[in-house]
Amino acid sequence: MTAWTEGKLIAKKHWNDNLFSLHIHASVPLFEAGQFTKIALDIDDKRVGRPYSFVNAPHEQYLEFYVVTVPEGELSPKLLATKEGDTIWVQTRPVGFFVLSEVPQGKTLWMLASGTALGVFLSILKTVTPWERFENIVLCHAVRQAESLSHHELIEQFKKEHPTQFQFVPFVSREETPGAFSGRITTALENGSLEKHTGFTFSPEESQVMICGNPEMVKECMTLLQEKGLKKHTRKEAGHITIENYWK
Ligand SMILES: Cc1cc2nc3c(=O)[nH]c(=O)nc-3n(C[C@H](O)[C@H](O)[C@H](O)COP(=O)(O)OP(=O)(O)OC[C@H]3O[C@@H](n4cnc5c(N)ncnc54)[C@H](O)[C@@H]3O)c2cc1C
Ligand SMILES: NC(=O)c1ccc[n+]([C@@H]2O[C@H](COP(=O)([O-])OP(=O)(O)OC[C@H]3O[C@@H](n4cnc5c(N)ncnc54)[C@H](OP(=O)(O)O)[C@@H]3O)[C@@H](O)[C@H]2O)c1
């Protein structure tokens, strides 16, 4: 049975009508950046919880969760309707293996995110580990519309602090946006334009790739990378691709 800790919503940031960040005060044990927990609301006398990745780094005081409203979903529309001061339950024990301690060494770390999966990478990038371990870091964020690109200030801060080590590559699939790739990440993987743009190639010798978000995006990216000689990483057999799906 899930053990729950009572959290208080201390602030909420709306990135657009469907996307928002919850800032929660709750006492949870130390986690590793990249892990997730469940958050829950009591709805009609039933506790409804879903997994969400931490966006905050382990050392930060408040928890942040970055959520998209799935209109027909059970929990996310209710999370959208929460107000400061409301109780939000947080699963006491953080979980998950989408963490850098599970990722083998490489020269370039690629982080491929669709939608709200950006958050898990921000948590990792707020820690010192990726900057110490990898010579180059490329964060790709794929969204439908430009209004769903978020956390601009934090991303700018990473760019400023690591001007040669870090590249941010936004993808907007359903409209033309200056400064962003048009279309899907998979297209840019297939036609080589992502490698050309960043100046780095995907190779088993140099690359470690973390992919998170929409399961179809994860699967298709993995297939394309496997065609380039990269292998899925497992604890049994070291490889180059580490994945997390946000739904089935
Ligand atoms: C390990 C893990 C970490 C997760 N972290 C996050 C997170 O940080 N932020 C977040 O918004 N969601 C995250 N999710 C998804 C989240 O748990 C919920 O499924 C989501 O918020 C919808 O909940 P719901 O009850 O409203 O609808 P549900 O009934 O749970 O979902 C209905 C459908 O909505 C779609 N869907 C679910 N989540 C998303 C999403 N994030 N983006 C696009 N479509 C989606 C899927 O088609 C799903 O079948 C994560 C899931 C997992 C497994
Ligand atoms: N984002 C919104 O404006 C919006 C509005 C209302 C409701 N919602 C709710 O939010 C949910 C999720 O929306 P989301 O936009 O965050 O996530 P999403 O549907 O996963 O889309 C995020 C990005 O991933 C791309 N993508 C999807 N499938 C892919 C695949 N197989 N291979 C490669 N790339 C792929 C999308 O491209 P494509 O655009 O080409 O699919 C888009 O660029 C929706 O199901 C809906 O319930 C979202």
Q: Which CATH number fits the domain that encloses residue 146?
A: 3.40.50.80
C-alpha–C-alpha distance, residues 180 and 201, integer Å? 20
Question: Are 82 and 134 in a shared domain?
Answer: no
Question: Are 106 and 69 in a shared domain?
Answer: no
Question: Are 105 and 54 in a shared domain?
Answer: no
Token digits of residue 244: 């997390």
Question: Are 124 and 234 in a shared domain?
Answer: yes
Structural domain count of the chain: 2
Question: Are 128 and 221 in a shared domain?
Answer: yes
Question: Are 77 and 139 in a shared domain?
Answer: no
Q: Which residue out of 217, 223, 243 has the highest number of ligand 2 atoms within 8 Å of its CB and is therefore the one to mutate?
A: 217
pLDDT at 2: 85
Positions of the chain with pLDDT under 50: none
Residue 29 · residue 71 · CB < 8 Å: no
Ligand 2 contacts CB of residue 146 (under 6 A): no
Question: Are 83 and 127 in a shared domain?
Answer: no
Tell me the residue type at 230.
Answer: L
Give the residue numbers spanning the domain of 76: 4-91
Question: Are 8 and 42 in a shared domain?
Answer: yes
Ligand nearest to the CA of 66: 1
- Closest among 229, 191, 238, 233 to 211, alpha carbons compared: 233
Q: Whose CA is nearest to atom 44 of ligand 2?
A: 70
Q: Which of 91, 116, 135 is the last residue of a domain?
A: 91
Q: Whose CA is nearest to atom 26 of ligand 2?
A: 217
- Rg of the chain on CA atoms, in Å: 18
* 94, 161, 170, 182 from 179: Cα distances, Å: 36, 20, 8, 9
Question: Are 105 and 85 in a shared domain?
Answer: no
CB atoms within 10 A of CB 245: 16
Which ligand 1 atom lies nearest to the CA of residue 38? Answer: 17
pLDDT at 72: 97
- Closest among 113, 114, 158 to 136, alpha carbons compared: 158
Check residue 149 and report its DSSP letter. Answer: -
Question: Are 74 and 174 in a shared domain?
Answer: no
- Closest among 212, 229, 196, 194 to 36, alpha carbons compared: 212
Q: Which of 63, 91, 119 is the last residue of a domain?
A: 91
Question: Are 87 and 175 in a shared domain?
Answer: no
* Residue 17 belongs to domain with CATH number: 2.40.30.10
Q: Which of 91, 126, 151 is the last residue of a domain?
A: 91
C-alpha–C-alpha distance, residues 38 and 99, integer Å? 17
Check residue 143 and report its DSSP letter. Answer: E
Question: Are 87 and 118 in a shared domain?
Answer: no
Ligand 1 centroid vs 21 CA: distance in angstroms? 14
3-state secondary structure of 162: coil
Phi, psi dihedrals of residue 180, rounded to the nearest 5°: -120, 150
The upper half-sphere exposure of residue 236, i.e. CA atoms within 13 Å in the direction of its Cβ, equals 0
C-alpha–C-alpha distance, residues 42 and 87, integer Å? 9
pLDDT at 61: 93
Residue 117 · residue 19 · CB < 8 Å: no
